[in-house]
Amino acid sequence: MPEEIDTLQSVMDQVTAFFIAYGFQILGAVIILLVGFRLAGWAGNAVLALCQRRELDITLAKFFAGVTRLTVLVFVVIIAMGKFGISIAPFIAALGAVAFGSSLALQGPLSNYGAGLGIILTRPFAVGDTLRVRGVTGVVEEIRLGATFLRTEDGETIIVPNGKIAGEVLTNSYHHTVVEQTLGIAYDADPGRAIDLVEGVLAEHPGVTAEPAPQVGIHDFGDSAILLGLRYWAPTERYHQTRYAVNREIHQALKEEGITIPCPQREVRLLGGETPP
């Protein structure tokens, strides 16, 4: 029992000596970290507010705010480590070796981050734009360093790695998407009247933009019908909804005017000769 008491007393003495020797350094490091975290948040919010006042793109503003927070935190951690007398030189050398080794294994993810940084700085598209790339189309919902998030009309989210976007041919139609289609009318119908009816439907429909103005005209002459071409812009988030509603109204307008949409026809002639058994 006396030996256990002596051991406990020795441990208590060592703990007390440690806190006497390093207590102020630990307290100072904790205070520096707490103040630093608050300062990093304040600096990030200040940069974000400044970018918003200058009407900078929201993605770029968030990027600058995040970089500011990270920079302040790095300096705070370095100062806090210095309170313990820890040299940061070995850590920097170790981080350099780790970064060199991991760069070989993480070429794909790192290329995505590099491409994301280029996208954020050059801003070929912004949040809310309609982006078409590598066979997918959607409204840009968020741009991160690693990937760009697209939202479809059905509410689906498409995640495109930024490395797949950089160097590709992009189609940015901003907030709208063009609708292109053809409509066949009978050859005995008046194409001018049909064009007027279609233009009237497009002009009155709330989902069709007035600028750029819709385009309607004779697109081609088919075997069984005169093909009218339609081109108009609809909001990307309601693309199919607008297109279906417009088609229904065009069909109703043509029907009321007596303009028919003919079915394909073929004329078959039997030449003289014996009829096969």
Q: Which of 70, 95, 91, 72 is nearest to 81 (CA)?
A: 91
Is residue 41 domain-resident? yes
Residues 7 and 82 in one domain: yes
CATH code of 11's domain: 1.10.287.1260
Asked if the model's pLDDT at residue 219 lies above 90, the reply is: yes
67 vs 147, which has greater pLDDT? 147
Backbone φ and ψ for 163, nearest 5 degrees, come out as: -65, -25
Residues 186 and 162 in one domain: no
For the residues 124-143, what does the mean pLDDT come to?
A: 91
For the residues 142-167, what does the mean pLDDT come to?
A: 91
Report the distance separating Cα 222 and Cα 233, nearest Å. 26
Strand partners, 142: 149
Is residue 120 domain-resident? no
Mapped onto helix, strand or coil, the DSSP state of residue 54 is coil
**pLDDT tens string 12-55:** 666 566 555 566 677 777 788 888 888 888 988 998 888 888 77
Residues 10 and 49 in one domain: yes
C-beta separation of 169 from 207 below 8 A: no
Is residue 76 domain-resident? yes
Q: Is the peptide bond before 212 cis (omega within 30 degrees of 0)?
A: yes
Asked if the model's pLDDT at residue 93 lies above 70, the reply is: no
191 vs 34, which has greater pLDDT? 191
pTM over 0.85: no
Residues 189 and 163 in one domain: no
216 vs 78, which has greater pLDDT? 216
Asked if the model's pLDDT at residue 260 lies above 80, the reply is: yes
Is residue 166 domain-resident? yes
Give the chain's domain count.
Answer: 3
Asked if the model's pLDDT at residue 89 lies above 60, the reply is: yes
CATH code of 144's domain: 2.30.30.60
Residues 73 and 147 in one domain: no
Range of the domain at 137: 125-173
- Work out the mean pLDDT of the chain and round it to a whole number: 83
267 vs 111, which has greater pLDDT? 111
Q: In what order do the strands lie in the sheet with 147-151?
A: 157-161, 147-151, 136-143, 130-133, 171-174
Residues 251 and 198 in one domain: yes
Cα distances (Å, whole numbers) of residue 152 to 40, 157, 207, 238: 36, 7, 17, 10
Asked if the model's pLDDT at residue 94 lies above 90, the reply is: no
pLDDT band at 263 (very low <50, low <70, confident <90, very high): confident
Report the distance separating Cα 59 and Cα 256, nearest Å. 50
**In 10 A of CB 231, how many CB atoms?**
16
Asked if the model's pLDDT at residue 265 lies above 90, the reply is: no
